[in-house]
Amino acid sequence: MTKKYRQANVSRRNLLKLSAGAISAGVLAAGVGSNLVAPEKASAQNKQDLSPDEALQALLDGNDRFVKAKRRNPNQSQSRLREVAKGQKPFASILSCADSRVPSEIIFDQGLGDLFVCRVAGNIATTEEIGSLEFGSLVLGTKVIMVVGHERCGAVDATIKGASVPGQIGSLLVAIQPAVEKSKGQPGDKLENACKANVLGQIEKLKSSPVLSALIKEGKLKIVGSYYDLDTGKVSLVS
């Protein structure tokens, strides 16, 4: 066997090994890929059947992942995009502040079609917000409504200070004022107390809805309040 022939033979063997390795890697990647996609589809289907308590726990678990920097970023694939384009079945509704630092899908580690979100400065339950949340629960089937207040809320702070504001901004402060009054004299941080009192006040408004109260009585819905810590990313329940 000549040296030139031996080199050619070795080259062919190396090529075959590389090809086999590439095919194996491709098969392995496909297998791993299918394992990654399957749970996403399964979780999307399972979330439609959650109880109100389970839906709440799913939100809290997602926030725990966010706080610990272990986000899964579920339901954010192109296949999920195409799936929800045909219709939505979110498992939870969120009434939160419009503050740019409190993005619901990120802090609860959820994805496309998971959350029905209403955002307004001061997380207040206006007529329009209540109507939207009635739709989310009655028509779309969300199992929990979470009102999310947050640390150092500018709208609540402005209400406490009695700020003079232009345009329609004053309507927000009027809606928050009852919570400020209710929290007066409480020990601790004045702004934090008012923010939490505001969350509880908005829950009362939501529960006054005949549509939502009926769903609660039937065991199909739960309404809870929470407080988001801007510094840690932690969502804590407020009661």
Same domain for 33 and 58, yes or no, is no
Same domain for 87 and 10, yes or no, is no
Same domain for 152 and 228, yes or no, is yes
* Cβ contact 179:153 at 8 Å: no
* Cβ contact 222:234 at 8 Å: no
Same domain for 23 and 112, yes or no, is no
Same domain for 31 and 82, yes or no, is no
Same domain for 131 and 148, yes or no, is yes
Same domain for 30 and 66, yes or no, is no
What CATH number does the domain containing 124 carry? 3.40.1050.10
Written as six digits, the tokens of 237 are 């329940």
Same domain for 41 and 75, yes or no, is no
Find the helix or strand (DSSP H, E) in which 104 lies: helix 104-107
Residue (of 194, 202, 206) closest to 150 by Cα position: 194
User: pLDDT by residue for the chain (239 residues), tens digit each?
Assistant: 554 444 444 444 553 344 444 433 443 333 333 333 344 544 555 687 999 999 999 999 999 999 999 999 999 999 999 999 999 999 999 999 999 999 999 999 999 999 999 999 999 999 999 999 999 999 999 999 999 999 999 999 999 999 999 999 999 999 999 999 999 999 999 999 999 999 999 999 999 999 999 999 999 999 999 999 999 999 999 98
pLDDT of residue 178: 98
* Cβ contact 221:52 at 8 Å: yes
Same domain for 40 and 21, yes or no, is yes
Written as six digits, the tokens of 29 are 């990647």
Strand boundaries in 75-221, DSSP class E? 92-96, 115-119, 144-150
Which residue range is the domain that position 32 belongs to?
A: 1-47
* Cβ contact 225:201 at 8 Å: no
Total number of domains constituting the chain: 2
Same domain for 8 and 96, yes or no, is no
Same domain for 29 and 103, yes or no, is no
Written as six digits, the tokens of 45 are 């289907």
What is the C-alpha end-to-end distance of the chain, expressed in Å? 86
> Cα–chain-centroid distance for residue 171?
27
Instruction: Write down the pTM of the prediction.
Output: 0.82
* Cβ contact 235:107 at 8 Å: yes
- From CA 118, how far away is CA 126, in angstroms rounded? 11
Same domain for 118 and 37, yes or no, is no
